[in-house]
Structure 1
Amino acid sequence: MSLSAVRPRIGRTRRTGGTRPARVRTALVTLVSLVGTVLVLALGSAPAAAHDYLVSTSPEADATVDVPPTSVDLTFNRSLLGVAPAMIVTDPAGETLVEGTPEIRDAVASMPMPSSMAEGTYRVAWSVVSSDGHRIQGAFAFSVGTPSLSSTDAAGPEGADDDPAAAVAEPGREQTDGGFPVWAAGLLGGLALLGVLAIVVVGRLRSRAATEATTPPGPAPAATTARTTTSPQGES
């Protein structure tokens, strides 16, 4: 009687996922792609965030009215931000008639006028913050009864150098102060948040890689053997 040889069966090794550097590279590529997408969307929408502009005034610029207005109203193309609006109205003598904060109602800035106004030309200087966060300002003139002078020759109000509402080149023109727009602040905030997320993700990946590197490997699985027997052969 003979026994067949015992053949050990080689155990299988476990197959792990990708290598640690590959996982780190994948995470970084994902974050960079996300940042690029945010930049493309922000820059693509930037032209749509153009400055607001003045649509009309009441009284109209360079108009002559018979009855003194009860208020000076400015209408813009979009709703205004109620952030420190200002308006100054000077009388025909160049003295300040009204100075203060106009009331903001959606896209309209309104300043009440006194009940008594002398005949002549009045100059209005204004300053508001548009919906995109930029401060815009301008000036125009109107007359009550007989004009006293042309709108282009209208004198600026006292304290024009100190008040942003009066810092205009000439009546009838608008200008912006080049302030920091709201959409740009939101973009920078989003990029800062993405940067923090990138630091957190990379830190966790590195911590996991260091933990795996210092953890000793487990025992290898025991090899299994198969034993076969043959029936004894008869002697001849």
Structure 2
Amino acid sequence: MGALTVATALVLAMAAPASAHNYLVASTPEENSTITEVPESFSVTTNEALLDLSGDGSGFAIEVTDTEGLYYGDGCVSIVDSTVAVGSSLGDAGEYRMLWQLVSADGHTVSGEVDFTWAPSTDAVTSPGAATAPDCGGEGIAAPPEATTAPVVRGDANLADVLWIGGAIAAVLVAGAATLFVSTRRRKD
């Protein structure tokens, strides 16, 4: 019985670090802030390094929209340690929402939103919004003045790879625990 307790404790100890998702520790702009200058980039920083298995930012996104549903920014995702960022642009003064999605260090997708107010100075450069989310190297489709679209955080097929890896790790842990249990039972017999 003692071996089973030890085996269970070992499995739980090994699995514990994998169960904690990254969480937001900072963003540019900050939640509920009012900004007067366009930031160099829109960014989200978490408590741990991010998991970018593909090396190309697949599964990561930051999308900024205004109250009309128009998109801003360049869509080019960069990941450095615990920060994901995209190039920035903003349109007319008003309320904006930054939706973000990332792959946590434990392989799970984490997402959230940051609301902020844009109150540009008189010399601030503004940009027209786009009807669709911009893609890196391309542009979103320019929106007619009356167009509105709902913001959507894009997923990515590479997320399936992350889930397969997480499932494989879980299977190995379960197999290890079962092997330890069986081997300790045989010794008693």
Give the TM-score, by structure 1 length: 0.49
Are 1:105 and 2:108 an aligned pair?
Answer: no
Measured after TM superposition, the shift of residue 78 of structure 1 is 0.2
Contact 2:76 2:86 in 1 (8 A): yes
Measured after TM superposition, the shift of residue 111 of structure 1 is 0.9
List aligned pairs for 1:21-100, cutoff 5 A.
37-49=6-18, 50-82=20-52, 83-98=58-73, 100=75
Are 1:126 and 2:95 an aligned pair?
Answer: no
Equivalence for 1:163: 154
RMSD: 3.8
Are 1:140 and 2:114 an aligned pair?
Answer: yes
Equivalence for 1:221: none
- Three-state SS of the structure 2 residue aligned to 1:163 is coil
Measured after TM superposition, the shift of residue 100 of structure 1 is 3.2
Q: Paired residues, what number?
A: 145
Measured after TM superposition, the shift of residue 68 of structure 1 is 1.5
Q: What are the superposed Cα offsets for residues 127-150 of structure 1, whole Å, 9 maximum, x if unpaired?
A: 10100111100111112217xxxx
Structure 1 unmatched runs, 5+: 1-32, 147-156, 166-178, 202-236
Measured after TM superposition, the shift of residue 92 of structure 1 is 4.2
Give the distance between the partners of 2:81 and 2:8, measured in 1 at CA.
31
Contact 1:42 1:187 in 2 (8 A): no
Give the letter for the 1:66 counterpart.
Answer: T
Contact 1:51 1:130 in 2 (8 A): yes
Give the distance between the partners of 1:51 and 1:42, measured in 2 at CA.
19
List aligned pairs for 1:150-189, cutoff 5 A.
158=149, 160=151, 163-164=154-155, 185-189=168-172
Structure 2 unmatched runs, 5+: 53-57, 121-147, 157-161, 184-189
Measured after TM superposition, the shift of residue 81 of structure 1 is 0.9
Give the distance between the partners of 2:72 and 2:111, measured in 1 at CA.
19
Give the letter for the 2:169 counterpart.
Answer: G
Give the distance between the partners of 1:103 and 1:53, measured in 2 at CA.
18
Give the distance between the partners of 1:65 and 1:128, measured in 2 at CA.
24
Give the distance between the partners of 1:158 and 1:185, measured in 2 at CA.
39
Measured after TM superposition, the shift of residue 183 of structure 1 is 6.1
Give the distance between the partners of 1:84 and 1:162, measured in 2 at CA.
10
